[in-house]
Amino acid sequence: MDVVTKFFSLKQSEADRALGLETASEYRERWISIRVMYYTGFLVYVAFGIITTSAWPYLRSLDPDAEKAFLTYVFAIQSVVQLVFSPIFGWWNNKLPSVRKPMLFFLVAYVAGQILYALIEEIDAYEKYMLLISRGLFGIASVSCTIYRAYMSSATTVAERTKAMSFLSLAQTCGLLAGSAVHPLFSLLGEDGFSFIGLFRVNMYTAVGWFCAVLGCVNLILMMPFVFKDQHIALKEAMNGQDVTATKDVWKSMELKYLPITLMVAAFALLMFVYSAIQTLLSPIALDQFGWSNEDSLFYLGILMTVGALISCILFLLLDPMCKRFTESNVLVYGAMFALFVSQLLLIPFGSDPITSVANEGNFTDGNSTITTIPGCPATQEWCQWIPPIGKVQFTISYTLLCVSFSIGTTLSQAVFSKLLGPRPQGTWMALLTCAGSAARILGPGSVTIYVLFGTYWTFGAGTILAGLVFLWMWFYRDSLQPAKPAVTAELAEELKVLNSTKLRQ
């Protein structure tokens, strides 16, 4: 409860006031602006969560002849656009004194994409391609995560960064949960819906677009100068109140540790890759390994994913206190990377009995009744005849550990990454992190092919080896995961006082 109270409080603490970096009013303005970025993260993930479940039926209603292969393009275009445009906008952000211009650009693209999504039926031409364009616009809007991550790095002190990043991750997860929870309410409108003053039809699909567009307009208002004010306290902290003309000299004097930086990018990409791979494999595993029906699969996996999301929310709230009790490097190494390694290891089946319920492909007739496909591992997957199944308890524990590792790992890898860079402009660097995550999300679903062709030993054995190697790499270099410091020369020694309030392992 104390964590929640502190989140809503905008009162400057005595410790922050003692630093002498800002006044009480500047502190309030800074944290209002940070909360606007929380809302932006929430907004982007609401749209992602709310449209994910409705994209396929909406596509079929727009174009009954559309194939599932086209749905792959609808989902992939966001990551592809993000991969292409993140470096460009990251570089542009570094050249600007304020993040307001790029953020307004992204929000306009977001609102335009949602309105297009809602009006495709009215356009009545090239419907599936209009849907693809609307998702492309959302992909451009999702590049904003590069900008707001960079802003969070410059608008927080080293001591505040982990808490700020964890709350940002919490906002994003809440967005996914809210999107999943709100969509069933719109389903009450049905496919027919109603006509809005004779201009356009609002139904269970188009209402989603209008809802997200309204949230986007609220975000546009919040980005106006009377609410959002740029604050760059990270540089103030590094300079400790010195003359502003020396700002570039300060961050240029900070040596970049390329090996730890590369390690953080690799860890972030691996977490994204494994998480997207497992999310894609959830249904095939439930159907093949457990012999569940489609209905049982949707029900039980829905419960599992909801519980996983709630675990993530709790961890985001507890992450900052954990990093104060233990060192950040230890929480990252053991709480994220070791947990990821164990989660993959647990998915490797053990035992001697093969999967017994091998499915017969297609429907067949028995007398006057038609019998649907028997649940189980398809006969086309020959490995099902000699590889044992994954146990339900084994799978549940593995998925729980994956949620723990993903929540802790993605948040701390971003926080440590920004601390390693120091107070320098981080737009291009955060774009690198975003590109790594986007590429991982594009490649992750490809694990389904390995699963179908070679089975669980190859799929999760490879995941175990990758996670183990990154865990050992990070464990070996954990002492180097320290914030960047100015290279204090004899000339600068009297001018700079470096505030080393980090909780990284010393």
pLDDT at 495: 41
222 pLDDT tier (thresholds 50, 70, 90) = very high
342 pLDDT tier (thresholds 50, 70, 90) = very high
The model's pTM is: 0.77
Q: Quick one: which of 230, 51, 96, 79 has its CA closest to 143? A: 79
pLDDT at 247: 55
Is the confidence at residue 138, as pLDDT, over 60? yes
340 pLDDT tier (thresholds 50, 70, 90) = very high
Rounded average pLDDT over 45-60: 78
pLDDT at 77: 85
pLDDT at 501: 39
Rounded average pLDDT over 175-200: 78
pLDDT at 159: 83
Q: Quick one: which of 432, 437, 146 has its CA closest to 271? A: 437
Is the confidence at residue 221, as pLDDT, over 90? yes
Q: Quick one: which of 153, 9, 43 has its CA closest to 90? A: 153
- pLDDT tens-digit map of 5-28: 555 567 777 776 766 777 888 888
Strand residue runs (E) in 254-405: 358-359, 364-366, 369-371, 377-378
Contacts 24+ apart (CB under 8 A), 247-251: 250/423, 250/486, 250/496, 251/422, 251/423, 251/424, 251/425
DSSP letters along 270-299, please?
HHHHHHHHHHHHHHHHHHHHS---HHHHHH
First to last CA, the chain: 30
pLDDT at 91: 86
R_g (Cα) of the chain, nearest Å: 25
Tokens representing residue 489 in the block: 């020369």
pLDDT at 354: 67
Whether the CB-CB separation of 420 and 483 falls below 8 Å is answered with yes
* Beta bridge pairs of residue 371: 364
Classify strands 358-359 and 377-378 as parallel, antiparallel or unpaired: parallel
Alpha-carbon distance of 386 to 20, in angstroms, equals 68
pLDDT at 6: 57
